[in-house]
Structure 1
Amino acid sequence: MARPDSQPILFALVCALGTFLSPFANPVSSEVYQYIDRHGVISLTNVPTDARYKRIDLTASSVAHAPIPEKKLDHAITRSARLHRLHPALVRAIIKAESDFDPRAVSQAGALGLMQLMPETAIQHHVRDAFDPEDNIAGGTKHLRYLLDRFHGNLPLALAAYNAGEHTVDRYQSLPPIDETRRYVQKVLRYYRRFLLAPSPLHPTP
């Protein structure tokens, strides 16, 4: 986990990731490099200044997968879900849809970690290290509770806002007519139902 005083550095650099990725129509044409210092501070750039920066393969939509012990992940989900009055199955459904349980996932838009937090969302909810599973889940569940309260408990609208942004949902006052967002809402609800019935907390029934 990054030090508290490194947060502005970390997210200023991570914000740059989404900025310089967006102009490229073909993600293969953009190159992103990462350097993690001895304090765990993550620096991202498209212009590496020295040999410590290592290239990230964004065509796979993730950094190297680092498996999480199932018990540890289940504990983090259950604790954050209880704190923010959410069903753990819903949190798992979002993680499944967003990152497929890859804590190092990075989207082409710059969303990070298990619950794919955009840097500005992570800062809003005081997430210090978006690649830390517990920190990421804490921020993601807090954001989901905020969206559910904002949209008066309407889960499809909250999920649409999680995917497309709350102002997009405000603009339409309903599910936005965006295919990707509608597919996302359906996917999360499908996973939610499956996780509710799952014999294992992290593995839904087929």
Structure 2
Amino acid sequence: MMNTSSIDPRVMKELLQLQLLSKMSLISGDTSSTSSTDDSGDFSELLQALMGQAGGTTDSQDVLSGLTGMAADTGNGIPSSMYALNRAYTPLSTTASAESDSGSQYDSIIEAASRRYGVDPALIKGVIQQESDFNHQAVSSAGAKGLMQLMDGTGAGFGVTNAFDPQQNVDAGTHFLSNLINKYNGNEGVALAAYNAGPGRIDRVGIRTDQDLANKLHLLPKETQTYISKVLGYKQTFST
């Protein structure tokens, strides 16, 4: 078999993402055999090219099996369906962005909120990264404000008097996120979907677990689909 250690790990990640995308009709919404064949062909061509660059020959099916095994064995407690969703949607630029701007000046605030509401600090950071890129003065076109992009009504419900104050914003945003995680029995993917699209919409679709989310992901807005996977990707980066 080919020595895959000679291939850049980032390239191996892209290979894994491409293979997963070709297998996940629940994300693409395309169940046609033609599309699946084309995606597999793209993967095979890229794999063969990389094999040539590595200066060796091997059975492509062996390498493919190894990559698929990497996807199945998460080793971090993330359900396999959500892990596949996360990997399929998370580009290399996601990790680079999180590493370059971790908002370390807010670490003490995030840690305090994490302890108070029992939410993983890496998940809080992932939400902040996606929502505001750690800009405490961020304002969305819809009027969401601050680090965790709180709407005025939501913030007021959690006692926020100044949404641009990092401590108030992170405390309220984490409290809200904690409520959603509890509502959906610890299914973080569903909680993130509700944080982005609203719990009412998630409930109307009939999503209660991460497996439900994987099965019905195509019923949610594209923005929400991408949001979930990016936040989970950021969480993974901040956990290391």
Shorter-chain TM-score bucket reads 0.5 to 0.7
AA of the residue aligned to 2:119: L
Counterpart CA distance in 2 for 1:192 and 1:134 is 20
Aligned positions of 1:31-180 closer than 5 A: 70-71=104-105, 73-174=106-207, 175=213, 176-180=219-223
Give the distance between the partners of 1:76 and 1:87, measured in 2 at CA.
13
TM-score by length of 1: 0.61
Partner of 2:236: 193
- What amino acid does structure 1 have at the position aligned with 2:197? A
How far the C-alpha of 1:183 sits from its partner, in A, is 0.4
Cα offset, 1:70, TM superposition: 3.4
Structure 2 CA distance, aligned partners of 1:145 and 1:94?
Answer: 12
Give, in whole Å, the separation in 2 of the partners of 1:78 and 1:177.
31
Quote the offset at 1:82 in angstroms: 0.7
* Amino acid of the structure 2 residue aligned with 1:70: S
Greater percentage in strand: 1
Amino acid at match of 1:146: N
Matched with 1:33 is none
Greater relative contact order, per chain length (Cα 8 Å cut-off, separation 6+): 2
Structure 1 range deviating more: 111-120 or 173-182 = 173-182
Distance 1:145 1:138 in 2: 10
The one-letter amino acid of 1:177's match is L
> What is the root-mean-square deviation of aligned Cα atoms in Å?
1.7
Q: CA deviation at 1:90?
A: 0.7
**1:128 positional shift:** 1.2
Partners of 2:162 and 2:117 lie apart in 1 by 20
Residue 215 of structure 2 corresponds to residue 182 of structure 1: no
Whole-angstrom distance in 2 between the partners of 1:118 and 1:188: 19
User: How far does residue 108 in structure 1 lie from its aligned partner after superposition?
Assistant: 0.3
CA positional deviation for 1:181: 0.2
Name 2:91's counterpart in structure 1.
none
Q: 1:192 to 1:70 in 2, by over 3 A?
A: closer
Structure 1 residue runs of 4 or more that deviate by more than 4 Å after TM superposition: none
> Take 2:138 and 2:174, find their aligned partners in 1: how far apart are those partners?
17
Larger radius of gyration: 2
Segments of 5+ residues of structure 2 without an aligned counterpart are: 1-100, 208-212, 214-218
Determine what percentage of the aligned residue pairs are the same residue.
43
- Give the distance between the partners of 2:166 and 2:238, measured in 1 at CA: 19
Q: How many residues in Structure 1 have an aligned counterpart in Structure 2?
A: 130
CA distance in 1, matches of 2:235, 2:206: 24
Q: Following the alignment from structure 2 to structure 1, what is the Cα–Cα distance between the partners of residues 190 and 168?
A: 25
Residue 153 of structure 1, CA deviation: 1.0
Give the partner amino acid of 2:199: E
Equivalence for 2:27: none
The structure whose residues are more often helix, as a share, is: 2
